[in-house]
Amino acid sequence: MERYADKIWFGAHIRTMDESLSEAQALASDKNGNILALGSDEDILALKGPKTELFDMNGAWIVPGLLDTHVHYRMYGESLLKLGIRDLSKEDILEKVREAAENAPAGKWIVGGMGWNNEVWADPSYPTREELDEAAPNNPVLLPRMDGHLIWVNSLAFKAAGVTEDTKDPEGGEFMRSAEGKLQGCCSNAAAAVIRGAIPQPGAEERKEAILAAQAQMLAYGLTGISDMHDTPQDLRDVEALYAEGKGKLRYCGTLGDCLNEKDPEENKTFLEKLPILGKFGGRYTVRCCKILSDGAVGAQSAALKEDFSDRPGHKGTLMYTPDELYHMVKTAAEHGLQVATHSIGDAAIDEILDAYEAVLNEIPNPDHRWRIEHFQTVTNDSPQRAARLGVVASMQPMHAPNSASMAMRRLGEKRIHGAYAAGLVMKSTGWVAFGSDAPVSAPSPLSGIHAAVTRTNDQLLPEGGFCMENAVSPMDALKGYTIWAARAVFADDVRGSLEPGKYADFTVLDRDVIEVAETAPHDILKIKVLKTVIGGNCEYKA
């Protein structure tokens, strides 16, 4: 029986990323959205039948659908819907607020993204509530400063939070006041939290809007699949509802958070019993992973280190759980047959979770568990070798390295810096690593990620010359980190991550060869354009 192709993309340069890194000119898919064949234009066009759709790629480059193994989907969407004020002058910010207020119903909060920076303004003194009152007389407004520790609000925001001239400052925060003792308009830390607490929780429609905004932007970045970290049952229900409506396009892997400890919310523990959910909606919706948060962050001095923070003697950060608690949490996941992804940043946290993984695996052997360590950010000992031996997946975020370089140097010091954000060092032991963005911390742009992994600089090309270049990875390994290795981290390498017959026809079309650009003029990776994003044979984004 003749097998005609449903669709054929030809005239392309295709990096299949299969075992032998073979290349092809054309790709044919079947009516189920799976790859039928790859090969030369001549061989593949021979599969053309009377109803086959043809797409001439005009020499564009095709790579397997790019994947991001660590995003915060809803939070990223929410960040896209906030007022963009980064790097703007005060006048421009006020103009944006005025415009937003004119288009918003009275009483609706106007919330800014990160964040204003008074240091670059003509007048660097702190802005006032009166300025915002004038721009938005009928809406409460909250605009965070770039560091997130200070917010600028108007009188209606104070009113909504019940803060008056008589309100005392909370511990660890300040309602800044004028010389006459009046509320000035800026609030720090705990005082800022009081105001934030007055913003109503987003309703179902707003949550849906945020997720769809995230999806649209991710498709434009060339992503075909994501691994969403630390979801609540509500997050997972929201995402699932979009797929049920046919609006979910990305291949989604959710990760239920706060569900393994006795003290976790009942709702989460109940939701755990429903897992795993595998490949619903045509292989687009999967939840088979539980998230553990085992320490904090280097920037906040809350990562759990074996030795003191270099800029804070006597302080080693904090482990969130005792070894015994962690062991029981991992065991609960193992008993449910689930994957575990643990946020571990400091070297002490990494050792502690490796101990827990090892103890549980000794009891409940599982040669293909793919338990993950998220960030794997501070390496000072043999933790990469242990991870390799235990089959633990390192899930890392290349953009964190250049963006955190100077902060990490202060916090960790000369001795530890070469093991910080050390993708190259970790890979020497594990042989592979899965890459992601931690959006909204960094934009979920895999091209920016590949650029950062290869050059150890961020989108602004900083730090100059790259941060600890011995931890850079090769262009091919960087691409694997966003394709086949990312797929492996979510148990999807049998259907995604490379372009091979039988796998999903998920691919990203670029105007140039990312490998060649990375090898010859690596900063030009940032200029590569995503032309199309195709999932299951359907074009979901077109430039």
Question: To the nearest whole angstrom, how small is the minimum distance from the Cβ of residue 252 to Zn ion?
Answer: 16
Q: What is the DSSP letter of 127?
A: P
* Site residue total, Zn ion (CB under 5 A): 2
Question: To the nearest whole angstrom, how small is the minimum distance from the Cβ of residue 72 to Zn ion?
Answer: 6
31-70 binders of Zn ion (CB under 5 A): none
Instruction: Report the alpha-carbon distance of residue 320 to residue 337 in Å, rounded.
Output: 24
224-263 binders of Zn ion (CB under 5 A): 229
482-521 binders of Zn ion (CB under 5 A): none
3-state secondary structure of 459: coil
Which span (14-22, 166-174, 432-440, 468-476) binds Zn ion, by CB under 5 A? 432-440
Instruction: Report the alpha-carbon distance of residue 478 to residue 480 in Å, rounded.
Output: 5
The residue (of 240 and 438) whose beta carbon lies closer to Zn ion is 438
The residue (of 249 and 291) whose beta carbon lies closer to Zn ion is 291
Q: Is the C-alpha dihedral spanning 159, 161, 165, 166 positive or negative? A: positive
What is the C-alpha R_g of the chain?
Answer: 25
Which of 226, 252, 257 shows the shortest CA–CA distance to 241? 252
346 within 8 A of 310, measured Cβ to Cβ: no
Question: To the nearest whole angstrom, how small is the minimum distance from the Cβ of residue 294 to Zn ion?
Answer: 13
Which of 312, 317, 361 shows the shortest CA–CA distance to 335? 361
Question: To the nearest whole angstrom, how small is the minimum distance from the Cβ of residue 229 to Zn ion?
Answer: 5
375-404 binders of Zn ion (CB under 5 A): none
29 within 8 A of 36, measured Cβ to Cβ: yes
Residue showing the smallest CB distance to Zn ion in the complex: 438
Question: To the nearest whole angstrom, how small is the minimum distance from the Cβ of residue 76 to Zn ion?
Answer: 10
Q: Does the protein bind Zn ion through residue 18 (CB under 5 A)?
A: no
The residue (of 132 and 229) whose beta carbon lies closer to Zn ion is 229
Instruction: Report the alpha-carbon distance of residue 268 to residue 259 in Å, rounded.
Output: 5
Instruction: Report the alpha-carbon distance of residue 111 to residue 120 in Å, rounded.
Output: 21
**3-state SS record for 387-419:** HHHHCCEEEECCCHHHHHHHHHHHHHHHHHHCC
The residue (of 7 and 291) whose beta carbon lies closer to Zn ion is 291
Question: To the nearest whole angstrom, how small is the minimum distance from the Cβ of residue 336 to Zn ion?
Answer: 23
The residue (of 215 and 342) whose beta carbon lies closer to Zn ion is 342
| DSSP output for 157-213 | HHHHTT--TTPPPPTTEEEEE-TTS-EEEEEEHHHHHHHHTTSPPP-HHHHHHHHHH
How far is the first Cα of the chain from the last one, in angstroms, to the nearest whole number?
38
8 within 8 A of 27, measured Cβ to Cβ: yes
The residue (of 377 and 533) whose beta carbon lies closer to Zn ion is 377
Stretch 191-230: interaction string toward Zn ion, x if CB under 5 A: --------------------------------------x-
Question: To the nearest whole angstrom, how small is the minimum distance from the Cβ of residue 396 to Zn ion?
Answer: 12
Question: To the nearest whole angstrom, how small is the minimum distance from the Cβ of residue 408 to Zn ion?
Answer: 17
Question: To the nearest whole angstrom, how small is the minimum distance from the Cβ of residue 30 to Zn ion?
Answer: 37
Other beta carbons less than 10 A from residue 170's beta carbon:
15
The residue (of 26 and 320) whose beta carbon lies closer to Zn ion is 320
The residue (of 62 and 223) whose beta carbon lies closer to Zn ion is 223
Question: To the nearest whole angstrom, how small is the minimum distance from the Cβ of residue 473 to Zn ion?
Answer: 21
Q: Does the protein bind Zn ion through residue 438 (CB under 5 A)?
A: yes
The residue (of 35 and 229) whose beta carbon lies closer to Zn ion is 229
Question: To the nearest whole angstrom, how small is the minimum distance from the Cβ of residue 442 to Zn ion?
Answer: 10
Stretch 309-328: interaction string toward Zn ion, x if CB under 5 A: --------------------
436 within 8 A of 400, measured Cβ to Cβ: no
**3-state SS record for 41-103:** HHHHHCCCCCCCEEEECCCCEEEECEEEEEECHHHHHHHHHCECCCCCCHHHHHHHHHHHHHH
Q: For residue 259, what are the contacts with CB-CB under 8 A and spacing of at least 6?
A: 268, 269, 271, 272, 290
The residue (of 94 and 345) whose beta carbon lies closer to Zn ion is 345
Which span (94-102, 160-168, 294-302, 436-444) binds Zn ion, by CB under 5 A? 436-444
Q: Does the protein bind Zn ion through residue 6 (CB under 5 A)?
A: no
The residue (of 68 and 238) whose beta carbon lies closer to Zn ion is 68
Which span (256-264, 350-358, 437-445, 500-508) binds Zn ion, by CB under 5 A? 437-445
The residue (of 69 and 498) whose beta carbon lies closer to Zn ion is 69
3-state secondary structure of 288: strand
Question: To the nearest whole angstrom, how small is the minimum distance from the Cβ of residue 302 to Zn ion?
Answer: 14
The DSSP element (H or E) to which 39 belongs, if any, is strand 35-39
Residue numbers at the binding site for Zn ion (CB under 5 A): 229, 438
